[in-house]
Amino acid sequence: MIFDHTPTEDEVESCSLVETYLLADMAPDVVVELTPACVTPPGTRDLLPGEEWVYLRKESPVPDDAARPEPLILIGYWRGPGAPELPDPHDFVDPS
């Protein structure tokens, strides 16, 4: 995970949480390892061999007194830690 500042303890914990979500979505033989990194603008960070870019935006919690948007309709979602009743993508993999 790349931050434009030194990551806080909470941000490092978020890195671990994202890693868990990614692992739940990958085949068992896929290696997922996230490490927080700091790159301050205008600096850049090139991918190292074997690395891939993955994007997930962390949203701030909505205050209880805030107007809530309409709920999303689930389309094409897969089983995960918070949704064990949904289909598991591993069940649809053709090993050949």
The answer to whether 56 and 18 have CB atoms below 8 angstroms apart is yes
Q: In this structure, how many other beta carbons lie within 10 angstroms of the beta carbon of residue 6?
A: 9
| Residue 85 near residue 24 (C-beta atoms within 8 A) | no
Long-range contacts of 36-43 (CB under 8 A, 24+ apart): 36/1, 36/2, 36/3, 36/7, 36/11, 36/12, 37/1, 37/2, 37/3, 38/2, 38/3, 38/4, 38/5, 38/6, 38/7, 39/2, 39/3, 39/4, 40/4, 40/5, 41/4
Q: Could you check whether the bond before residue 69 is cis, i.e. omega within 30 degrees of 0?
A: no
Give pLDDT, residue 72: 67
pLDDT for 93: 85
The residue type of 18 is: V
Which residues of the chain register pLDDT less than 70? 54-69, 72-75
Q: What is the pLDDT of residue 38?
A: 84
* Residue 96 confidence (pLDDT): 82
